[in-house]
Amino acid sequence: MSKVVEPPILISKVLAFVLATSVVVLGVLVYTLFKMAPLERPEVFFLYTPRGNFTDMIIEPMVPDATNQKTLERYKRGFIREYVIARNTLNSGTNVVITRNNWSKLVNPWSSENVWKSFINTRLYQQYQFSDTLPTMTCSVNFPNSTNTPAVVPLNNDMYEVNFAWICEDENIGGHIIQKNYKIMIRIRSDLNKQVRKDLNKLRNNPLGIQVISYEVQNDKGDPLNSDMES
């Protein structure tokens, strides 16, 4: 009968300790990776300056809950301003690509399906997207800086009144500058659903999942992008 040689007791204890430690470390790593998922996600912060003070910048984390309604409301107003700018700013000549990128990368994910369909049927969208020649019209958005006529006025149920001047210049009519004042009613919603979370490209441009679900021009003027440039 052959003799069985047992390993030294000390070595057995050391190996058991190393194995146990490895299991614990592996468990901690798995738990850490689980808590970090998804490994790429936007973190929202809000940068603003106090009224009347343009030298001090304040950065606040953007937490969309009941405890941070004031910051959330500032974010919504800022979002609406950026939406109106991205939608109505036009560039001419070789800079037309900037307008197209703003429409596809910003206006599209920021708009509900119905609002986007209405937008792409406007006359100037069709011209800027499908014209054989480069458009010659440039337009910019100018918000009023007055307490009598605020740029963005919250109403109720996430409805906002937006006032802005649309200033356009067309090389085809001698560079004549035309300004039109608009009042638009915009309703938004926050819809950060699973589908939005999966699309990181959209999430970077729209981290809270806010979308414009209604865009109505007042005073029967029609959408600025259907403008015929007549004063």
Which of 41-55, 130-144, 182-196 tops mean pLDDT? 130-144
Task: Report, as an integer, the average pLDDT of 134-145.
Answer: 89
CB 47 within 8 A of CB 57: yes
CB 24 within 8 A of CB 6: no
DSSP class of residue 157 equals T
pLDDT at position 33? 77
Angle separating helix axes 113-120 and 123-130, nearest 10 degrees: 70
Question: Got the DSSP string for 13-75?
Answer: HHHHHHHHHHHHHHHHHHHHHHHH-SSS----EEEE--TT-SS--EEEE---SGGGHHHHHHH
Which stretch of 14-28, 46-60, 120-134, 200-214 has the lowest confidence by average pLDDT? 46-60
Is residue 53 pLDDT above 70, yes or no? no
CA distance 164 to 84: 9
Secondary structure E strands in the chain: 45-48, 58-61, 137-142, 152-154, 159-170, 176-190, 210-217
CB burial string 57-67: b at 16+ within 10 A, e below = eeeeebebeee
Q: What is the CATH superfamily name and number for domain 84-226?
A: VirB8 protein (3.10.450.230)
pLDDT at position 90? 94
Is residue 16 pLDDT above 90, yes or no? no
Confidence band of 131 (pLDDT split at 50, 70, 90)? confident
CB 196 within 8 A of CB 209: yes
pLDDT at position 94? 85
Task: Report, as an integer, the average pLDDT of 133-162.
Answer: 87
pLDDT at position 149? 74
Express each pLDDT in 59-109 by its tens digit: 666 665 556 677 778 888 989 999 999 999 999 888 999 999 999 989 998
Confidence band of 14 (pLDDT split at 50, 70, 90)? confident
Q: Is 9 exposed, middle or buried (0-12, 13-18, 19+ CB in 10 A)?
A: exposed
pLDDT at position 231? 47
Domain ranges of the chain: 84-226
Amino acid code (one letter) for 204: R
From 156, 146, 191, select the one nearest 73 (Cα to Cα).
Answer: 156
CB 226 within 8 A of CB 124: yes
CA distance 122 to 88: 11
Structure tokens belonging to residue 123: 């006359």
CA distance 107 to 116: 8
Express each pLDDT in 171-212 by its tens digit: 776 767 889 999 999 999 876 554 455 555 566 667 777 889
pTM reported for the whole predicted model: 0.71
